[in-house]
Amino acid sequence: MNKQANRAFDIVIVGGGMVGLAMAASLLRQQAAKQLQIALVDAQKPQKKHYSRDEVGNFDPRVSALTARSRQLFESLGLWESQMQAAACPYQDMYVWDAEGTGHIEFSCREVNQPELGFIVENSVIDQALNSSLAGQTGLTQLRGESVRHVEIGQDGLMLTLGNAQRIKTSLLIAADGANSTIRQQAGFNCREWDYGQKAIVATVATQKPHQYTAAQCFGPTGPLAFLPLLDVDASQHYSSIVWSCDVDAAEALLALDEEAFCKRLGAAFEDRLGAIEKLGTRYSFPLWQRHATDYVQDGLALIGDAAHSIHPLAGQGVNLGLQDVQVLCQVIVRALEKGEDFASEQVLSRYQRQRKGDNLGMMALMEVFKRGFGSRDPGLRFLRNTGLSLVDKAAPLKRQLMQKAMGL
């Protein structure tokens, strides 16, 4: 038996991805939480990777589209200006169009009096900034490279058995262990989920024309295709991250193409808006599901991020919803501590669920409308969606509301 068996913590966070790391960092910044003993458990050890951002192969293929609200979270942690901003590519405009029709809509940061709509940031930049903020923090024990084998839910707390047979007890377990959450499954949370029957292809590309700090997305016969602008070391504006969502058979066929053929298909699908695709990085793919836990909390347990909800990536909102979970749950815990309440009780944790569940469901429903509306080949629906895009584009107040919602303002 490990010598550290049966250690006790006030809060255990399972999952060392962006959301779990942000949860730990946010709690440690709060004066009211200084007396807490917190543990961070993750099956993977943190990896330091340096991407020089000077060739397609030197970018992290995993990127996130951070909203203004998410940026504010990293600012509050003291990480934005010091570690993230230099590598973050702002996008000031967004262009969306139907490749099978005439409908289109344009968004500009100037319409909402903001300097940008958001930022495209490599996940490695975010991970490394958060990991550096946790290094040497008092009150935090990091158990990295350790998986959770079993969770026991008892009257006086939860007991976790780790892969090395170590047992740790906690008053509050926060599950940030992703869409296939082991904690969610072992704790018996009900979950609604369905397979979209699609895969998303992601890669870094170099284009003939500069992206001009514009994010663009077209809805074509194979599915939505997004070009997200990246900031390279020379600020040349010729690098983008693509997210191409396709039916599984179409995705497999695209992945089987050689580089030249894939670049031609990609350029054609994007209507050559950025000219020829001159270089292509390694292609990756992942299946697309939608999941939503019917409840986010139990007594002593809370789900955040993809463990609670995962959505189609067509609007890039997944990580932002998770970071909003972090902000709200941290606030709920801190206020309970300040009032002398039991922060791990279901009564207190339900405040987090009430604040986040409606917003998450609303965004998921909106993405589902877009997915199904633009995935249909029905001529009547195609006419309606093109008409709707053009009408919204001309309705300035509605556009501003959509932008403010998407930016988390």
Give the per-residue pLDDT at 76.
96
Rounded distance between C-alpha atoms, residue 89 and residue 134, angstroms:
25
- H-helix or E-strand spanning residue 367: helix 346-375
Give the per-residue pLDDT at 2.
43
Rounded distance between C-alpha atoms, residue 381 and residue 389, angstroms:
12
CB 232 within 8 A of CB 219: no
Beta-sheet pairing, 93-98 with 214-220? parallel
Tens place of pLDDT for every residue, the chain, 409 residues? 344 457 999 999 999 999 999 999 999 999 888 899 999 999 999 888 889 999 999 999 999 999 999 999 999 999 999 999 999 999 999 998 888 776 788 888 998 889 999 999 999 999 999 999 999 899 999 999 999 999 998 877 899 999 999 999 999 999 999 999 999 999 999 999 888 888 999 999 999 999 999 999 998 887 899 999 999 999 999 999 999 999 999 999 999 999 999 999 999 999 999 999 999 999 999 998 889 999 999 999 999 999 999 887 766 778 999 999 999 999 999 999 999 999 999 999 999 999 999 988 887 776 666 655 555 555 555 556 666 666 666 666 766 777 777 777 6
The domain spans of the chain are 7-407
Fold of 7-407: FAD/NAD(P)-binding domain (3.50.50)
3-state secondary structure of 302: strand
CB 276 within 8 A of CB 207: yes
3-state secondary structure of 102: coil
Q: What is the pLDDT of residues 261-275, one digit of tens each?
A: 999 999 999 999 999
Q: Is 250 exposed, middle or buried (0-12, 13-18, 19+ CB in 10 A)?
A: middle
Rounded distance between C-alpha atoms, residue 203 and residue 241, angstroms:
6
Give the per-residue pLDDT at 386.
60
Residue 250 DSSP label: H
Give the per-residue pLDDT at 189.
96
Residue type, 173: L
Give the per-residue pLDDT at 289.
85
Give the per-residue pLDDT at 381.
54
Give the per-residue pLDDT at 1.
37
Beta-sheet pairing, 167-175 with 301-303? parallel
